[in-house]
Amino acid sequence: MESTLMAAPLDSSKIKVFTGRSNPELAQKVCDHLKVPLGRGRTELFPDGECIVKVDEDVRGRDCYIFQSTCHPTNAHLMELFIWIDCLRRASAKRVTAVIPYFGYARQDRKDEGRVPITAKLVANLLERAGADRVVSVDLHAAQVQGFFDIPVDHLNAGPVLTKWFKTLKLGNKVFVSPDVGNVKRAQAYANMMGGEICIIDKRRKNGSTTEARHIIGDVEGKNVLIVDDMITTAGTVVEACKILKANGVKDIYIAATHGVFAPPAMERLADAPFAKIAVTDTIPMSNRIDPIKDRLIVLSVAELLGEAVARIHRDESVSALFKEDQSA
Amino acid sequence: MESTLMAAPLDSSKIKVFTGRSNPELAQKVCDHLKVPLGRGRTELFPDGECIVKVDEDVRGRDCYIFQSTCHPTNAHLMELFIWIDCLRRASAKRVTAVIPYFGYARQDRKDEGRVPITAKLVANLLERAGADRVVSVDLHAAQVQGFFDIPVDHLNAGPVLTKWFKTLKLGNKVFVSPDVGNVKRAQAYANMMGGEICIIDKRRKNGSTTEARHIIGDVEGKNVLIVDDMITTAGTVVEACKILKANGVKDIYIAATHGVFAPPAMERLADAPFAKIAVTDTIPMSNRIDPIKDRLIVLSVAELLGEAVARIHRDESVSALFKEDQSA
Amino acid sequence: MESTLMAAPLDSSKIKVFTGRSNPELAQKVCDHLKVPLGRGRTELFPDGECIVKVDEDVRGRDCYIFQSTCHPTNAHLMELFIWIDCLRRASAKRVTAVIPYFGYARQDRKDEGRVPITAKLVANLLERAGADRVVSVDLHAAQVQGFFDIPVDHLNAGPVLTKWFKTLKLGNKVFVSPDVGNVKRAQAYANMMGGEICIIDKRRKNGSTTEARHIIGDVEGKNVLIVDDMITTAGTVVEACKILKANGVKDIYIAATHGVFAPPAMERLADAPFAKIAVTDTIPMSNRIDPIKDRLIVLSVAELLGEAVARIHRDESVSALFKEDQSA
Amino acid sequence: MESTLMAAPLDSSKIKVFTGRSNPELAQKVCDHLKVPLGRGRTELFPDGECIVKVDEDVRGRDCYIFQSTCHPTNAHLMELFIWIDCLRRASAKRVTAVIPYFGYARQDRKDEGRVPITAKLVANLLERAGADRVVSVDLHAAQVQGFFDIPVDHLNAGPVLTKWFKTLKLGNKVFVSPDVGNVKRAQAYANMMGGEICIIDKRRKNGSTTEARHIIGDVEGKNVLIVDDMITTAGTVVEACKILKANGVKDIYIAATHGVFAPPAMERLADAPFAKIAVTDTIPMSNRIDPIKDRLIVLSVAELLGEAVARIHRDESVSALFKEDQSA
Amino acid sequence: MESTLMAAPLDSSKIKVFTGRSNPELAQKVCDHLKVPLGRGRTELFPDGECIVKVDEDVRGRDCYIFQSTCHPTNAHLMELFIWIDCLRRASAKRVTAVIPYFGYARQDRKDEGRVPITAKLVANLLERAGADRVVSVDLHAAQVQGFFDIPVDHLNAGPVLTKWFKTLKLGNKVFVSPDVGNVKRAQAYANMMGGEICIIDKRRKNGSTTEARHIIGDVEGKNVLIVDDMITTAGTVVEACKILKANGVKDIYIAATHGVFAPPAMERLADAPFAKIAVTDTIPMSNRIDPIKDRLIVLSVAELLGEAVARIHRDESVSALFKEDQSA
Amino acid sequence: MESTLMAAPLDSSKIKVFTGRSNPELAQKVCDHLKVPLGRGRTELFPDGECIVKVDEDVRGRDCYIFQSTCHPTNAHLMELFIWIDCLRRASAKRVTAVIPYFGYARQDRKDEGRVPITAKLVANLLERAGADRVVSVDLHAAQVQGFFDIPVDHLNAGPVLTKWFKTLKLGNKVFVSPDVGNVKRAQAYANMMGGEICIIDKRRKNGSTTEARHIIGDVEGKNVLIVDDMITTAGTVVEACKILKANGVKDIYIAATHGVFAPPAMERLADAPFAKIAVTDTIPMSNRIDPIKDRLIVLSVAELLGEAVARIHRDESVSALFKEDQSA
């Protein structure tokens, strides 16, 4: 990712970056990177909990970006985002891009059983109906969610951010592990980029019961393990993986995921889990709830990644080119 | 409202009534009135706060009704409603009717200043996009919100429910008051239906300052006052009205509103206000937060009203006919 | 409203202003104000009454404005407007803004009874379907009509134009009257801006009959009265108000309304009514039908207001800013 | 066309036929044929010329048909039709079919030059947007207009009605003439059905001028001529054809067209034209304006044709089958 | 058509011209005329016949043109075109114009019988749904197909290209023939432009059988005949016309059509037909299948016509002006 | 899957099953199972390759199903399907369900690089635009494709059909293999259903080159291997898997996949591959191209599965219930 890209400054009278209430720190960092002020505007709450968006500077004909991670509380953050979009659209913005670093409900992307919703598609439909012209997101749970939209989506890959951290660890004898068989491809991609083997952890129903047993397929003894995933929610799967890996004699365990959701009881689980370090990005803000693991937690920033993407979108430059060099590295 | 309407029972294999989490008691009451079981299905919460809807009985080709008041927390209740609609639609329901006894965000129905949203229209658009085929609601803040929809809306009037209560008070020498000049028409309608005068409370900016003064226009001394409104939110306006009315020598004050939102600090304000009784309906569930006024609070039910409407919609009978007899009464 | 706004001239190769047949004089005045020529193009009638629009200059990639008040004959003016929009859109205009100084059918904005249309919403839908990208209008009957559109609407307030005239009258001891209880808020807004009291005229059903009686609520004796409304149609309500006000001993009566519809029998009624002056704007052209009151009629122009709005829309400048100074004045 | 089709009567509680103001006589005739009462409902005019539609019987879940020929005044009749559709749709009609015996603006079906509208497509779009579910029409000017709709269109052919009349004339030695080279196919179709030759009338620019000359291509001397067209508007073309045919020694001339638009100066032209008889249908009502030719004018009814089509649509029976027997006859 | 139009060169960083696989030669010629390189991108085929489009240069914010004649194999060429449009749209092209020199399925523009599709409208709908912003085409079979689109269509007339060739023949004593009565207007237009008479060939059902007989209406003996049509498919009609014309003693026969579809058995039929020359344009590529008539076949190019249209569209200049001078010539 | 479901016969006057040209044998088998005749209607080809659909029986108000696998030639089969849908919709079918046993282009469900289409979403959009009301498909490559649709999709699982065959093999000591790491979940699901272990085949880039090496992760020696996948296209991956498995000492290899695409050079590859049996279903018709492996190929039918689904959809019964018993088995 070339930082020289910012040689020519953006015209802050033409691009406007606003933020909802879910992750204003990240939006501010992106603005700092872009060297444009964060747009003046805010979400206000009425006593009955309804919210209203007010924009305090003119946006007519401007290229507007509204940042909102749809993390917890997801429903409130989504509605707030829809209202921002409606507000900007009715205020005659030239283009409204919803920047959604963490895209909530992305796991509800299919019907595994009868009579359930496909909420990720619903959210895509509602974003379009509210009036979004484009979407930017990072590491969607399934790449197919991009196809849920008819408007253009720039799907950013935080892999380079995580890989850069991995490399600083200077580990030898590496094995990449997917904690879930649905995600082996991700482990394989890292192994191909950085060298090393892969292994998987198989979760099997025991005969005659509903309890499950896990066992490792592949060779891990004495190796450094890097567990990679797109998100850590309740940390159940990843902590189970740590335990069985340790039981199989691995050396050190490192965990990396783009989105640190850390929903209860993630902290209780992670506090006792036998890993060395865990890295997530700032797509979701970390509050003091991460105290139990703060010594082992690394928070990497996607602000530069998002900033470069926004700059390129604004200037009609290729966003996919952002990732070219990393792939060849 | 003729209860004889229910002479012919509904076929519970053809009509399905479900409820979101905002007001299940009302949905159950409606089902009791309709003599059909409440549909099996529920909203489940994941640890990260995302919700999923699961419907446990077949709805293919059925006429489905999903009850959800979009009261506090409005955003969560709205998203839950959208997800219910998506779920029922994808499950091949013949028709999905969103029954929204209290329609949140209805006051954001216009742009009074630049660069604000029209959230009530946004909500209408999102309901249609999610897949609702019809909407039923009670006493929308502005009747024009009905026009925000392109799908048919049955806009029910809780006036007969409140009027019935008013009549039981057997008050003489009545005057109807609108606490807000935007709502005088409502007071006039009650006065026309029940006899009595109207008065208004004018709120004026004082010269050279932003503080406001209220004074009464019309004759109220020694009279019984009935303050009528569509909703009571923080109770600021209505309590101010009580005070100035008392200061002008009225006899007893009765308050009636369809929707008892009672957002903070409504209870603190009402606890000390000089009124005799206050009546609201159960479009919004009352919790223990109403304790400070529980001796003076009457909660009237719209369950029968909603039930009759649902039955008539299901049977392709006129809903407007529901209100004919009341108007002539 | 700053006329300095026009310091930088518009580029007449980029902005094109056309007019339908309803109010070409107003369109011409706006063009004069904007210092751009009225676009060459016209509506032609075939012998069977069908019309066709022909545009005689290139509009590809231009920012086009089509002026049409949808006053009498409303249906013909609406269809003509739809055809203009279709024509400009198919001719590859960059943007088509429908400028509708008087928006007909705005009063049909709700369903007050069963089985009636919501024609204002229908018109909004048809305008969007025909291909309008934006709408500009003046003093819509209900502000909610703005929400009937999903395209951006610039809703202009002719209040400053009327207020300016009011001030020239240098009246003391003023009272503002709404002829209809549905419109008290408008009278209150004027009272707040210009000083003075408000009163309302209550229209009540007499017991046991359908005839109505009017009486005044509020103190008017010996005062100068300013009756304010958004439109005068058949003048029934306003003339009744004049009579009862005079009967209650008011001094002089002045009437102001944005839209002078003056449908029969408005002129017969007004000819004999006891008011001093009546002011309307030129959103609707006055023909010789106003002869009976021409000595007491003032026609104020909204051309500058519309011209400033068009210039600001074309230049991506704030339209709401147009009204800032007036509110503080 | 089998009249036995009506053996099983329609259930008048399920089918509702309404009429706009353009051709209520035809709608009544169709109802008489269908043996159902004309639906109670009407278009009312306000003093300012706006109209409102009120439906006086319940239409929920009913199969509704609204009859409206969009003849002169076309714009008013179109808007009235859109409003009817909006009204029926919002009143929860199960299906709304617009029956448009004469489809105005059908000739504006292409762009022959730059910067003109395609009004026939616009009208199709507006009908769909207003909420029509189906359309029925008779002899569209171009069959392609059917493709302007995405909703199903039943395009009825009045040919059998005209052919039946032609046969009663018992003419020998026939030649069919298209007055316009764009319509030769229609003449050929009649010639194929009834026997006889065809000829065309060529309209050519004279060298060096814009005046035109007509001459006949084909052999007509001493023959009976049948001029066939879809509509007669100002009668210019058809009267010119009569003159040149007479000048070329034809025997008697008969004219037949589905739609008798008869816009000025049609009557002046036809009054002096040398034809024996002219037949049109009642898709457009004839008023006293046809007096000048009333002795030579035959008005045939399409009521039975439309009635059969409505009955078949209501009963999910084939409409194209209506025309099978006539083709083989 | 002024070639001076190209005085100012196009900016090849803003306009991108791509080609599908149906007619890359024509796209290349247009690029040569425009002096811009053909865009880098291609359709790749997978072994199972599915295709994928890959664009190798950035198109964000660019004005993109994708050339594809939807000639044989029409279905494959259509799907490839839809995929190109989807690809360009998702790659954030500013505008995607589908340039379709030959528009397949254009003859399926109406329902002549029950239960058939209107495929030309379907194709228009699918092009819009895929994301096309504009369409350019040449000599649509029916001009009404333009109205099947809601997006702007530039309908180019290859008439001037054919007329120019006709003039080089320097023929005297000309008669223009439409091989089909549905197309007489086209012959008349040529006759009006170039001088000469017209005649038609009538196709009649013989009494009591389904076989048809053709005869000529109009005077052709000893004349040079120019048969004009929009397309030649299987050549059945045109070859029949040649035969009957020769049998009626015409001198030389010349055939001109915009689109040379030449589907089997066109070549067998034409090889033996008594015409002097046949001219078509390169909207459809000629392969070696034209060998049997290659000595008598003239292929005229529409590259300049298309190039001028593309340049004018890109520069927001009038396309209809392209044809002005030709009409006056 | 209960065959008792068919106890009550379908009413063949209400349900109509048609077939396109891709897999008429399967459609016929489904009709046989449903005991309804295959609908009369067909796709005809014109000499230039355009196709037209003609339906020979009335479909008004009927519940219509059109069968078409979008296998090779995919583009032609897709366009044919769109045309069928357009035809049925315009013929006033009550509901049109596209039954697509094999859904082509399903692998193009994401953007893995810049400037490529998402063709699976495009196809979903085009199906909806053509007018499909529902879709039925079998084993979509990614379950998320279901979410590409806003219309209801019944996604059938051929797993029970394949499992039933697996069980007839009565194999012991089983291991399930996914030939591709993206599909391990499928192998795991089979292992959980039938007992046995899983293993994966890892494909790794060799250092310093683009060639790839495969190695097995997991224990396979001496075991019976069941390779499971959703489709076999060129058979490259599966044949490589066979080789490396054999090299690692497995006993017998069985292959099962829902869709036998068998694109070149699948047959050449499979002919020499060391597997015992390969099973596919008849979602794609097998022609004589399968000769090289016909002794080892088992073709299982999904006709009963599709038939049951169609019957349940027609009768508004649960389709997911079809799979309940299999899961518990």
DSSP state, D37? P
CA gap A273, A265 in Å, rounded: 13
Residue type, C210: T
Give the closest-approach CA distance of D227 to chain B in angstroms: 47
Residue type, B152: P
Sequence-ordered list of residues with C-beta below 8 angstroms from that of C277, at least 6 positions apart, any chain: C169, C254, C255, C296, C297, C298
User: Residue D181 is nearest to which of E148, E188, E197, comparing CB atoms?
Assistant: E188
Q: Residue C178: which pLDDT band, with cuts at 50, 70 and 90?
A: confident
Residue type, A321: A
Please tell me which residue of chain F has the smallest CA distance to D150: F90
User: Residue A129 is nearest to which of B41, B86, B129, comparing CB atoms?
Assistant: B129
Residues of chain E with C-beta less than 8 angstroms from the C-beta of C90: 152-153
Q: Residue A192: which pLDDT band, with cuts at 50, 70 and 90?
A: confident
Over residues A203-217, mean pLDDT: 73
What is the per-residue pLDDT across D267-316, written as a single tens digit (0 to 9) for each? 999 999 999 999 999 999 998 778 999 999 999 999 999 999 999 999 99
Model confidence at D205: pLDDT above 80 = no
User: Residue D48 is nearest to which of C72, C86, C118, comparing CB atoms?
Assistant: C72
pLDDT at C326: 46
Residues of chain D with C-beta less than 8 angstroms from the C-beta of E188: 181, 202-204
CA gap D246, D244 in Å, rounded: 5
CA gap C103, C107 in Å, rounded: 9
Please tell me which residue of chain A has the smallest CA distance to B109: A52
Q: Residue B210: which pLDDT band, with cuts at 50, 70 and 90?
A: low
Q: Is B144 on the interface with D (CB under 8 A)?
A: no
Over residues A64-70, mean pLDDT: 98
Question: What are the backbone dihedrals phi and psi of residue E255, each rounded to the nearest 5 degrees, phi first?
Answer: -120, 135
Residue type, F119: T
pLDDT at C210: 61
Q: Do chains E and D touch, with touching meaning 3 or more CB–CB pairs less than 8 Å apart? A: yes
pLDDT at F326: 46
Q: Six-digit token pair at C39?
A: 């676009």
Q: Residue F192: which pLDDT band, with cuts at 50, 70 and 90?
A: confident
pLDDT at B87: 98
What is the per-residue pLDDT across B151-186, written as a single tens digit (0 to 9) for each? 999 999 999 999 999 999 999 899 999 888 888 889
Over residues E159-185, mean pLDDT: 91
Cβ C203 vs Cβ C212: under 8 Å: yes
Cβ D272 vs Cβ D246: under 8 Å: no
Q: Which helix (H) or strand (E) holds D126?
A: helix D119-130
Model confidence at E98: pLDDT above 50 = yes
Of the candidates E82, E128, E126, the one whose C-alpha atom is nearest the C-alpha of residue F82 is E126
CA gap C187, C230 in Å, rounded: 11
Of the candidates E278, E284, E276, E230, the one whose C-alpha atom is nearest the C-alpha of residue E257 is E230
Over residues B302-310, mean pLDDT: 97
Of the candidates B286, E217, F248, C289, the one whose C-alpha atom is nearest the C-alpha of residue D177 is E217
CA gap A129, B127 in Å, rounded: 10
What is the per-residue pLDDT across A114-129, written as a single tens digit (0 to 9) for each? 999 999 999 999 999 9
Q: Six-digit token pair at A42?
A: 């805010």
Residues of chain E with C-beta less than 8 angstroms from the C-beta of F84: 117
Strand segments, DSSP code E, in chain B are 15-19, 41-45, 51-55, 63-67, 95-100, 134-138, 153-156, 174-178, 197-205, 212-217, 224-232, 253-260, 277-281, 297-300
Model confidence at C63: pLDDT above 70 = yes
Q: Go through D71-91 and write b for each residue having 16 or more CB atoms within 10 A of its CB, e for each that does not.
A: bbbbbbbbbbbbbbbbbbbbb
Q: Residue B1: which pLDDT band, with cuts at 50, 70 and 90?
A: low
Residues of chain F with C-beta less than 8 angstroms from the C-beta of A148: 121, 144, 147-148
Residues within 8 A of E (CB atoms), F 160-219 only? none
Strand segments, DSSP code E, in chain D are 15-19, 41-45, 51-55, 63-67, 95-100, 134-138, 153-156, 174-178, 197-205, 212-217, 224-232, 253-260, 277-281, 297-300
Residue type, E70: T
Of the candidates B171, B279, B299, B173, the one whose C-alpha atom is nearest the C-alpha of residue B227 is B279
Chain C neighbors (3+ CB pairs < 8 Å): A, B, D, E
pLDDT at E264: 94
Q: Is E13 on the interface with A (CB under 8 A)?
A: no
Mutation pick from A122, A150, A289 vs chain B, by most beta carbons of B within 10 Å, is A122
DSSP state, A222? T
CB contact under 8 A, E317 and C58: yes
pLDDT at D1: 53
Q: Is F116 on the interface with A (CB under 8 A)?
A: no
Q: How far apart are the first and last CA of chain C?
A: 11
pLDDT at F289: 79
Average of per-residue pLDDT values in chain D: 92
Q: Is C58 on the interface with E (CB under 8 A)?
A: yes
Q: Six-digit token pair at B158?
A: 């809780």
pLDDT at E8: 81
pLDDT at F206: 66
CB-hemisphere CA count at 13 Å for A119?
22
Model confidence at F328: pLDDT above 50 = no
Question: What are the backbone dihedrals phi and psi of residue F42, each rounded to the nearest 5 degrees, phi first?
Answer: -160, 160
Q: Exposed/middle/buried for E287, CB within 10 Å: 0-12, 13-18, 19+?
A: exposed
Average of per-residue pLDDT values in chain E: 92
Predicted complex ipTM exceeds 0.85: yes
Give the closest-approach CA distance of D286 to chain F in angstroms: 33
CB atoms within 10 A of CB E197: 19
- The dihedral through the CA atoms of C243, C244, C247, C253 has a sign that is negative
pLDDT at D228: 95
Q: Is the peptide bond before B24 cis (omega within 30 degrees of 0)?
A: no
User: Residue C146 is nearest to which of B110, B150, B182, comparing CB atoms?
Assistant: B110
pLDDT at A1: 52
Give the closest-approach CA distance of A129 to chain B in angstroms: 7
User: Angle, nearest 10°, between helix axes A119-130 and B74-90?
Assistant: 120
Q: Which residues of C are catalytic?
A: 203
Distances in Å between the alpha carbon of E28 and those of A102, B64, D161, E307?
Answer: 45, 58, 56, 10
Q: Residue E64: which pLDDT band, with cuts at 50, 70 and 90?
A: very high
How many percent of chain B have pLDDT more than 90? Answer: 81
How many percent of chain E have pLDDT more than 70? Answer: 94
pLDDT at F183: 84
Q: Which helix (H) or strand (E) holds A243?
A: helix A236-247
CA gap A280, A276 in Å, rounded: 14
pLDDT at A266: 96
CB contact under 8 A, C87 and D54: no
Give the closest-approach CA distance of C32 to chain B in angstroms: 27
Three-state DSSP state, F222: coil
Cβ D60 vs Cβ B318: under 8 Å: yes
CB contact under 8 A, F89 and D317: no
Instruction: Tell me the domains of chain B and their CATH numbers.
Output: 15-157+303-328 (3.40.50.2020), 159-300 (3.40.50.2020)
Cβ C97 vs Cβ D102: under 8 Å: no
Of the candidates F135, F273, C109, C308, the one whose C-alpha atom is nearest the C-alpha of residue B110 is C109
DSSP per-residue codes, F70-118: --SSHHHHHHHHHHHHHHHHHTTBSEEEEEESS-TTTT--S-SSSS---
Q: Is D109 on the interface with C (CB under 8 A)?
A: no
CB atoms within 10 A of CB A12: 15
- The dihedral through the CA atoms of E188, E190, E192, E196 has a sign that is negative
User: Residue A144 is nearest to which of F144, F182, F188, comparing CB atoms?
Assistant: F144
Q: Exposed/middle/buried for F206, CB within 10 Å: 0-12, 13-18, 19+?
A: exposed
Residues of chain A with C-beta less than 8 angstroms from the C-beta of E62: 316
CA gap C325, D253 in Å, rounded: 75
Give the closest-approach CA distance of C62 to chain E in angstroms: 8
Q: Is D13 on the interface with B (CB under 8 A)?
A: no
Residues of chain F with C-beta less than 8 angstroms from the C-beta of B56: none
What is the per-residue pLDDT across C106-161, written as a single tens digit (0 to 9) for each? 999 999 899 999 999 999 999 999 999 999 999 999 999 999 999 999 999 999 99
Which one is predicted more confidently, D156 or A172? D156
How many percent of chain F have pLDDT more than 90? Answer: 81
Q: Which of A203, A243, A246, A277 is catalytic?
A: A203
User: Which stretch of D44-58, E175-189, E239-253 has the lowest confidence by average pLDDT?
Assistant: E175-189
Give the closest-approach CA distance of A9 to chain E in angstroms: 19
pLDDT at A329: 35
pLDDT at D204: 76
Q: Residue D329: which pLDDT band, with cuts at 50, 70 and 90?
A: very low
Over residues F70-76, mean pLDDT: 97
Three-state DSSP state, B160: helix
Model confidence at D318: pLDDT above 60 = yes
Angle at C126 between CA C121 and CA C130, to 5 degrees: 155
pLDDT at A326: 46
Q: Which of E203, E243, E246, E277 is catalytic?
A: E203
Three-state DSSP state, C95: strand
What is the per-residue pLDDT across D112-152, written as a single tens digit (0 to 9) for each? 899 999 999 999 999 999 999 999 999 999 999 999 999 99
Q: Six-digit token pair at A165?
A: 């951290």
Sequence-ordered list of residues with C-beta below 8 angstroms from that of B112, at least 6 positions apart, any chain: C143
> Is A206 one of the annotated active-site residues of the chain?
no
Model confidence at A207: pLDDT above 70 = no
Q: Residue F123: which pLDDT band, with cuts at 50, 70 and 90?
A: very high
Over residues D93-102, mean pLDDT: 98
Model confidence at B35: pLDDT above 50 = yes
Q: Which helix (H) or strand (E) holds C43?
A: strand C41-45
Residues of chain F with C-beta less than 8 angstroms from the C-beta of A121: 147-148, 150
Model confidence at B329: pLDDT above 70 = no
How many percent of chain A have pLDDT more than 90? Answer: 81
Q: Six-digit token pair at A4?
A: 């020289």
Residues within 8 A of A (CB atoms), B 23-42 only? 41
Model confidence at B2: pLDDT above 70 = no
CA gap E268, E275 in Å, rounded: 14
Q: Residue D156: which pLDDT band, with cuts at 50, 70 and 90?
A: very high
pLDDT at C133: 98
Question: What phi-psi label fits residue B155: left (phi over 0), alpha (psi between -120 and 50 degrees) or beta?
Answer: beta
Q: Which of D94, D203, D243, D277 is catalytic?
A: D203
pLDDT at F180: 82
DSSP state, A10? P
Give the closest-approach CA distance of F16 to chain D in angstroms: 14
Mutation pick from A40, A58, A64, A129 vs chain C, by most beta carbons of C within 10 Å, is A58
Over residues D185-213, mean pLDDT: 81
CA gap C53, C41 in Å, rounded: 7
What is the per-residue pLDDT across F7-46, written as a single tens digit (0 to 9) for each? 689 999 999 999 999 999 999 999 999 999 999 999 999 9
Over residues F167-181, mean pLDDT: 91
Residues of chain F with C-beta less than 8 angstroms from the C-beta of B89: 152
Give the closest-approach CA distance of E92 to chain A in angstroms: 6
Residues of chain B with C-beta less than 8 angstroms from the C-beta of A82: 122, 126
DSSP state, E320? G
Over residues B19-43, mean pLDDT: 97
Cβ E22 vs Cβ E299: under 8 Å: no
Angle at D175 between CA D173 and CA D176, to 5 degrees: 150
Longest Cα–Cα distance of chain C, Å, equals 67
Longest Cα–Cα distance of chain A, Å, equals 67
Most confident of the ranges B32-41, B184-193, D208-217, E193-202: B32-41
